[in-house]
Structure 1
């Protein structure tokens, strides 16, 4: 969690009051107060696990299908409008990156950009790209992916650029969690990320928001190689309600995800491994290398909100964007 010294002070004051059991559980790492899978008749479980499993990618890896209870099925029936959401656009031609604003990042080569695709469109892309496998379930087909050796975040590979004399250099609580790296290292990694995308013919772009309050929400952009990672952030963050919001969209922060690439020079860069998740708050960009785990996208932006909001006097809570 990227906490500024201001946020850490607010957190300590909140816990010291002794009035928030949930907050204390969050801080101490205790989960004893939480029962996500209630089994009595009053609280039916949201999921039950099927007895069968299915192969993934034709390998020895298997996917265990979970069936949703009637309670969740009824909820989803009430949300039929979700799949009707449609503001997607496909930009094609040598000026595709220019029209989407990726040229400002240095990304100019992809001649096809898929921007803010709908859930049904993303599902078709996932299948066509063979990014995973379709798991058959009672409530419908579900797309399953293999994230490789990382089935969770890799916190020891997350770094923040310490720009000398900057606001973040002064305000971030630098420690073993908020690990610093240099602007020079970041420039090499950023250039590597841009160079990789400039070898691709197509890319996926999600433009949306983090935060529901109009006073504090941030415009965010994700640039991905994989359609399933776009599916992940489409589900995690707030989508524009109208296509007009995409016109001249100027993000407050951009994540360039090069999950298929690694940092071969990680020892020279004084990093932890060939996996690198690096944020430059002043440059308003981040790069991701070497991990396919989708949660790095979400947690990165949430961590930034944990820095930005306390600077404005707001205490952030980790929940849905």
Structure 2
């Protein structure tokens, strides 16, 4: 392992002031004592993350090393950085941490499947960051087990160390650098704890496919007869809401692997957005934010109660809590092969059907597309719905070429005879501002019918533009909403909007080149954009 002349990882572990494998209670006490956070009446540790209230994707790098450089899909997401730059910065960070009065270490795992899990170590400058790591990763059963873990990857986190771009070769004071050969994730210049969680997910997205395991940015639950479902979707599509079903057990809300044995959660906790959170809308999440949870950037009132509707610090307010803070979870968080996959999209153009069944090729096409809409008014300058395409519903975390994941998905759909549905949680009867948002009760019903297998043998009709197979009837759902064109008063306006969206899909798909030509031909839209 790379070492600086004066210090090393082992030096940090051997320091008498380094505290290892502390309990959640001990870390809360440390955090409050150090002035890092306060405790809410519900028992959650509440903290702020300074000026960085979200990830810094432009400051994320992968060391360009001989063993992996031909495997990485280099570009804006996976930016290369030289071994020399990494080594010098790594030495500086180790020296910086060696000079701190206190360090915190957590050893645990990523992956609930014991045969493929990743042993990991997290070295933190802040006690609350160590609490976050203990919450989000899988905890060893005993302190002794944790102390004896031999980590395959180590996160070294130094938020108070800020890089000098001119000297250190970074783009800013912040850096998140992954070295696959040194097995180090180096983080500095940012207090946003989510960088640790997502860095390990990126590592798993590299390691798992090499073992024949599909890594997925999705939620998952399981119900009667071991019928397991996967939910893919970007922010605002309802992934967390729809996977939290009181009649089904939650496996996990964000990161999973799909092996030859079935599905497993990569994490030991959940990292939920909390903006406008209420017990009425999302009771499971609301009640999970108690002792063991970490609240990020949520303003508090005079009595330290969270003000979830307060966006003064950021709209990206978050809560990290262990899975066991939700009653209706699967323990251990593993299950059999999925019987149903749900792709969620919030179509603000109002032209995609509320539910449609996809062929394997269509599933691969929509998986690679990862479509949803950014709505007017959500950001300055956006006056109409803007399409958002995030490859495999998680492009910021994919080190390999996207088609690697898409092809694995197609193989598993074939192998296990999985039904795949595209569900629009966006608008119907018109675009955003003119139509209506999909009724959540209707969406829940359609999703439950699909997962139960009740849409396997119903009659379907294929639409003329997207080539999607739409059920003509779903129990307890008004038939007039199933065909999106019928829900529009002005059919010509629908046709125009639908063709515009189809063109956006096709133009986005061109980025995948010849390697995805067959997927585009077999799974893409019927409409010819030249018409």
* 1: CA distance, partners of 2:128 / 2:86: 26
Change (3 A) 1:105 1:276: farther
Counterparts of residues 278-297 of structure 1 (less than 5 Å): 278-297=177-196
Alignment size in residue pairs = 214
2:43 aligns with one of 134, 137, 141: 141
1:197 lines up with 2:97 in the alignment: yes
Change (3 A) 1:190 1:179: same
Q: The residue matched to 2:130 in structure 1 has which SS?
A: helix
Give 1:317's aligned residue. Answer: 216
1:184 Cα deviation after fit: 0.3
Change (3 A) 1:103 1:250: farther
Q: The residue matched to 1:201 in structure 2 has which SS?
A: coil
Change (3 A) 1:247 1:271: closer
1:274 Cα deviation after fit: 1.0
Q: The residue matched to 1:107 in structure 2 has which SS?
A: helix
Give 1:222's aligned residue. Answer: 122
Q: The residue matched to 1:187 in structure 2 has which SS?
A: helix
Change (3 A) 1:176 1:103: closer
2:12 aligns with one of 92, 107, 111: 107
Contact map agreement 2:60 2:177 (CA 8 A) in 1 = yes
- CA offsets, 1:18-69, max 9 Å, x none? xxxxxxxxxxxxxxxxxxxxxxxxxxxxxxxxxxxxxxxxxxxxxxxxxxxx
* 2: CA distance, partners of 1:103 / 1:269: 19
* 1: CA distance, partners of 2:19 / 2:13: 14
Give 1:257's aligned residue. Answer: 157
Supply the RMSD in Å over aligned alpha carbons: 1.8
1:269 Cα deviation after fit: 3.9
Q: The residue matched to 2:157 in structure 1 has which SS?
A: strand
Give 2:55's aligned residue. Answer: 153
2:171 aligns with one of 248, 251, 272: 272
- CA offsets, 1:155-179, max 9 Å, x none? 000001001x21x111111111000
Structure 2 residues without counterparts, runs of 5 or longer: 1-6, 218-254, 256-265, 268-531
Q: The residue matched to 2:120 in structure 1 has which SS?
A: strand
1:268 Cα deviation after fit: 3.9
TM-score between both structures, scaled by the size of structure 1: 0.63
Larger RCO: Structure 1 or Structure 2 (Cα < 8 Å, ≥ 6 residues apart)? 1
Give 1:81's aligned residue. Answer: none
Q: The residue matched to 2:128 in structure 1 has which SS?
A: helix
1:310 Cα deviation after fit: 0.7
1:117 lines up with 2:28 in the alignment: no
1:239 Cα deviation after fit: 0.7
1:308 Cα deviation after fit: 0.5
After the TM superposition, which segments of 4 or more aligned residues of structure 1 sit over 3 Å from their partners?
Answer: 102-106
1:245 aligns with one of 120, 142, 145: 145
Change (3 A) 1:173 1:187: same
Contact map agreement 1:259 1:291 (CA 8 A) in 2 = yes
* 1: CA distance, partners of 2:194 / 2:112: 20
Q: The residue matched to 2:105 in structure 1 has which SS?
A: strand
TM-score between both structures, scaled by the size of structure 2: 0.39
